[in-house]
């Protein structure tokens, strides 16, 4: 936990706890922290997602954004919860079992509410499970030990039978993160609406060119689609991104520039990842 989160005022804590109780009684999910709770602190991203437990997600850093995108990409992930509060009685029991002092709010002996950055509902066949993900920013290759709060958080989730993972990310600098964000924006724009005639035409033409396996780059195929079919500029690239987002086509997500790939470097997934 950060010093800032431990400075929560007594009235704010009481309000948030009541809100959580009302949400549990109503059977709905309510995140513990919102981006508006921490103005001017770090990098915050608010976005909507079809897998989000609520209508939007509140990600407090670029590192969380990168971890979210990797979770979204996994087909086994059904639902993503963000900033999930843990039950204080359970975290206090976990702390005691680890012989660790439970964090308290500054200037008080009030036990702090610990929260988990991302909690994933996983489906594997007919089985369901939960995976808790705690995210820290780090340079590539840097090892970041668990903090006291993370140790308590880990024990609490393991007591619940959930998988706990502490992950690090170097913001959104990795090519994998950039490519997933590029695909996510295009795919997310298609959720809940019918594709336009121009989008359908562009997608069909891209798949036709892909099946022909011509030795041309993606960007050249996309430009060909735009010019030959007199479609709005960017239609071919948008089609490629949408097809990748629906996992109709796949490519190495760690490349620096996907549109510079050759068509024969793209493949049809044998199964959705």
> Do 208 and 134 share a domain, yes or no?
no
Give the CATH number of the domain where residue 112 resides: 3.40.1350.10
Q: How crowded is residue 26: how many other Cβ atoms within 10 Å of its Cβ? A: 9
Residue 197 lies in a domain: yes
> Do 14 and 149 share a domain, yes or no?
yes
pLDDT of residue 47: 92
pLDDT of residue 106: 82
> Do 184 and 244 share a domain, yes or no?
yes
> Do 219 and 119 share a domain, yes or no?
no
pLDDT of residue 4: 58
Exposure string for 100-110, b = 16+ CB within 10 A, e = fewer:
eebbebeeeee
- How many domains does the chain contain in total? 2
Residue 270 lies in a domain: no
> Do 148 and 13 share a domain, yes or no?
yes
Residue 271 lies in a domain: no
Tokens at 193, concatenated: 């609406």
Residue 95 lies in a domain: yes
Domain boundary among 169, 187, 216: 169
pLDDT of residue 107: 76
Residue 22 lies in a domain: yes
**H-helix or E-strand containing 167?**
strand 163-169
Provide the domain limits for residue 224.
Answer: 175-265
pLDDT of residue 270: 76
Tokens at 162, concatenated: 């959930």
> Do 145 and 120 share a domain, yes or no?
yes
pLDDT of residue 141: 84
pLDDT of residue 273: 47
| pTM of structure | 0.90
The full DSSP string for 125-161 is TTEEEEEEEEEEE--TT---PPPHHHHHHHHHHHHTT
Residue 273 lies in a domain: no
> Do 161 and 231 share a domain, yes or no?
no
Domain boundary among 123, 142, 169: 169
| Dihedral (CA of 255, 192, 54, 164) sign | negative
Residue 144 lies in a domain: yes
Q: In tens digits, what is the pLDDT along the chain, a chain of 273 residues?
A: 665 566 677 888 889 899 999 998 998 999 998 888 877 667 889 999 999 998 889 999 999 999 999 999 999 999 999 999 999 999 999 999 999 999 998 878 889 999 999 999 999 888 999 999 999 999 988 889 999 999 999 999 999 999 999 999 999 999 999 999 999 999 999 998 999 999 999 999 999 999 987 789 999 999 999 999 999 999 999 999 999 999 999 999 999 999 999 999 999 997 544
Cα gap 34→45, rounded to integer Å: 10
> Do 155 and 184 share a domain, yes or no?
no
Residue 76 lies in a domain: yes
> Do 155 and 243 share a domain, yes or no?
no
> Do 190 and 162 share a domain, yes or no?
no
Give the CATH number of the domain where residue 260 resides: 1.10.10.10
- In 3D space, the residue among 183, 117, 185, 130 whose CA is nearest the CA of residue 157 turns out to be 130
pLDDT digits 0-9 by tens, 198-212: 999 999 999 999 998
> Do 160 and 191 share a domain, yes or no?
no
> Do 139 and 237 share a domain, yes or no?
no
Domain boundary among 115, 148, 169: 169
């Amino acid at each position: 936990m950060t010093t800032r989160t431990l400075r929560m005022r007594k009235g704010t804590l009481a309000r948030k706890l009541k809100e959580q109780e009302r949400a549990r009684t109503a059977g709905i999910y309510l995140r513990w922290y919102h981006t508006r709770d921490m103005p001017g602190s770090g990098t915050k991203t608010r976005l909507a997602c079809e897998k989000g437990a609520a209508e939007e997600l509140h990600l407090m850093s670029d590192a969380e954004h990168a971890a979210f995108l990797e979770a979204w990409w996994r087909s086994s992930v059904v639902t993503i919860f963000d900033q999930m509060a843990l039950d204080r009685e359970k975290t206090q029991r976990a702390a005691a079992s680890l012989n660790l002092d439970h964090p308290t709010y500054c200037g008080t002996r009030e036990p702090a509410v610990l929260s988990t950055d991302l909690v994933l509902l996983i489906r594997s066949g007919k089985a369901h499970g939960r995976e808790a993900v705690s995210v820290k920013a780090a340079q590539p290759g840097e090892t970041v030990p668990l903090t006291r709060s993370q140790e308590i958080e880990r024990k609490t989730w393991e007591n619940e039978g959930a998988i706990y993972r502490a992950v690090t990310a170097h913001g959104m600098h990795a090519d994998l993160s950039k490519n997933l964000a590029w695909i996510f924006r295009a795919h997310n724009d298609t959720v809940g609406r019918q594709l336009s005639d121009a989008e359908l035409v562009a997608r069909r033409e891209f798949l036709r060119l892909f099946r022909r396996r011509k030795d041309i780059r993606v960007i050249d195929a996309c430009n060909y689609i735009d010019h030959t079919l007199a479609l709005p500029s960017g239609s071919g690239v948008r089609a490629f991104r949408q097809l990748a987002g629906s996992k109709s086509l796949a490519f190495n997500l760690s490349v620096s520039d996907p549109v510079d790939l050759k068509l024969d470097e793209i493949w049809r997934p044998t199964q959705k990842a």
